[in-house]
Structure 1
Amino acid sequence: MPLNEGDPVVIWIDPKRAYISKLERGKRLDTDKGAIFYDNLIGLEYGSSLTLQTGAKAYLLKPTIQDLYSKGLKRPSQVLYPKDIGYILTTLSLNQVKTVIEAGTGSGFLTISLALSLSENAKIYTYDVREDMQKVAKFNANVLGVQDKIVFKLKDIREGIDEKEADAIFLDMPDPWNAIPKLYEPLKPSSTIIVFVPTVNQIEKTYFAMKNSGIIDIHVEELILREYQVKENAVRPRNIGIMHTGFIIRGRKSI
C-alpha cells in the first residue's frame, strides 16, 4: 500500500544512518548523504528506495519493535532493551490480552511495543508520576501512530489503579514491592504480572511481595544477548555486547 502523510517510516541508508520518522508534508530530513523531502516519499511503498544527491541510496522500511530502540526515538531515560521487551511480550499471551496496566511510562518504549503487538481492541493504561516523561512517551507514540491505543495516567500506581480488571500488569519502577499489594485484586485470575528491576537487591523484596500477595508460579530470570561479528574467515563474538540489563520477575494470579 502507498505511504500516506502521517505514516511512520524508517529511512535506512546504511547501518550508521538509519532514521525513524513520521511523514509530514513540507518537512525534510537532512543527512550528510543528502536531503530527503517527505513530500517525495508520500505515495511510495515500504521497501522502496530513492537515490540521494550524493548517489547514495535510501530505503523506506516499515518500523519494527527493534527499530524503536536503535533508530532515534527520544529516550531521556534508560529504556528496556529489545531482548527483554521481546521476552516480556511472549510471556503476556498477547492474543488473550485486552487491558494492560504499566508503570512507569518512562520514554514509552515498552508501551509502544505493546501497542504495536496487541489486537485492535486492546488498550494500554500507563502510569507515571513524571509529566515530563509522559510528554516524551506521547511524542514517541505519535511518531509510530499508536497513540489511540494508549491511555496516559499521571498518577502514582502505589496508590492503586482506576481499572477494575487487568489482563496483565508490568512494573518498571524503583520500589515495585510497594505497588504489588494494591494490584492483586484488579488483576484477573491466571493473568500475569511482570516486574523489571536492574539490581539484585531489588529481587528479594519484589519476589516476596508477589508471593505474599497470592501470586504463584514466580520466576526470576536474566537474558543475555551476544552478537557475532561476521568477516570472511574470521567469524567471532563481538568484543562489546549487551550483557546485564536487568532481571525479569514474573508470576500469575491464583484464585
Structure 2
Amino acid sequence: MPLKEGDPVVVWIDTKRVYLIKLDKEKRLDTDKGVIFHKDLIGLEYGSSITLSTGVKAYLLKPTIHDLYSKGLKRPSQVLYPKDIGYILISAGIGQISKVVEAGTGSGFLTIALALSSNAKIYTYDIREDMLKVARFNARILGVEDRIVFKLKDIREGVDEKDVDAVFLDMPDPWNAIPKVYESLVPSAALIVFVPTINQIEKTYFAMKNSGIIDIHVEEIILREYQVKENAVRPKNVGIMHTGFIIRGRKSI
C-alpha cells in the first residue's frame, strides 16, 4: 500500500543510522549521508529503497516495537528495553486483554508497545506533566495516540478504572501502589512490576503477596548479541545486560 502523509516510517541507512519519522510533505530529514525530503517518500511502499546524494541507499521500513529505539523519538527518561518489553507483553497476556493500566509513563515506550501489540485501551498514569507530554509526542509519531489515555495523577492515591485486565508499574516505590491497583484488577489478571535494583525486590514481592497476588516470579532478562565475521563469530564486546528486574504475579479471588 502506498505511503501517505502522516504514516510512520523507519528510514534505515545502516545500523548506526536508523530514523523514525512521520511523513509530512513540508519536512525533510537531514543525515550525514544526504537529505531526504518527506514528499519524495509519499507514494512509495514499505520495503522500498531510495538513493541519497552520496550514492548511499536508504530503505523505508514499517516500524516495529524495536524501532522505538531509533532516532526520532524523545527519551528524556530511562526507557525499558525490547528484551524486557517483550517478556512483559507475554506475561500480561497481550492479545487477550482489552484494558491495561500503567503507572510511570516516562517516555512512553512500554505504553506505545502495548498499543502497537494489541487492541487494548491503555490508561497511563504519571505525576510529571512534562513526561506525559513527551509520551504523547512519541505516541503521535507512531499513530497510536488515540488508543492511550494520559492521566496526570499519582496512582498511589487510587485507580479510576475498574475491571482491568493487566497492570504494569514502573516507579520508585511500587509497593505503595499495589494495594490500590489490586482492587482494580479482575481475578486472574496480571500485575507486573519493573524495578532497577535488588533493594526494591523484597518490598515489592511481599506487598504483592500480602495483597493477594499469587504465582509470583522475580526474573531478570539477559540479552547478548553476536557479531558475525567470516571465521570470527563471537559475542560483541558491548551489550545490554542488566537493565532491571521483572516481578510478576496474578490476582486471586
Report the TM range for the smaller structure's normalisation: over 0.9
1:225 aligns to 2:194 (yes or no): no
Measure, in 1, the Cα distance between the counterparts of 2:190 and 2:80. 19
Measure, in 1, the Cα distance between the counterparts of 2:133 and 2:180. 26
> TM-score normalized by structure 1?
0.98
Q: Which residue of 1 aligns with 2:232?
A: 234
Q: Which residue of 2 aligns with 1:163?
A: 161
Measure, in 2, the Cα distance between the counterparts of 1:71 and 1:114. 20
Aligned partners of 2:20 and 2:70 also within 8 Å: no
Measure, in 1, the Cα distance between the counterparts of 2:205 and 2:152. 27
Q: 1:70 Cα shift?
A: 3.4
Give the 4+ runs in structure 1 shifted more than 2 A: none
1:201 aligns to 2:204 (yes or no): no
Q: Deviations over 1:133-152 (max 9, x none)?
A: 01000000000000010000
Counterparts of 1:88-107 in structure 2 under 5 Å?
Answer: 88-107=88-107
Q: Which residue of 2 aligns with 1:75?
A: 75
Counterparts of 1:26-175 in structure 2 under 5 Å?
Answer: 26-119=26-119, 122-175=120-173
Q: Deviations over 1:86-110 (max 9, x none)?
A: 0001111112110000011000000
> TM-score normalized by structure 2?
0.99
Aligned length: 253
Q: Which residue of 2 aligns with 1:191?
A: 189
- SS of equivalent to 2:197: coil
Q: Deviations over 1:211-242 (max 9, x none)?
A: 00000000000010001111111111111111
- SS of equivalent to 1:96: coil
1:12 aligns to 2:12 (yes or no): yes
Q: 1:71 Cα shift?
A: 3.4
Measure, in 2, the Cα distance between the counterparts of 1:178 and 1:188. 20
Runs (5+) with no aligned partner, structure 1? none
Partner letter of residue 183 of structure 1?
A: V
1:212 to 207, 210, 216: 210
Runs (5+) with no aligned partner, structure 2? none
**Percent same amino acid at aligned positions?**
80
Measure, in 2, the Cα distance between the counterparts of 1:215 and 1:70. 36
Q: Report the aligned-residue RMSD.
A: 0.7
- SS of equivalent to 1:185: helix
Measure, in 2, the Cα distance between the counterparts of 1:202 and 1:54. 51
Measure, in 1, the Cα distance between the counterparts of 2:111 and 2:214. 25
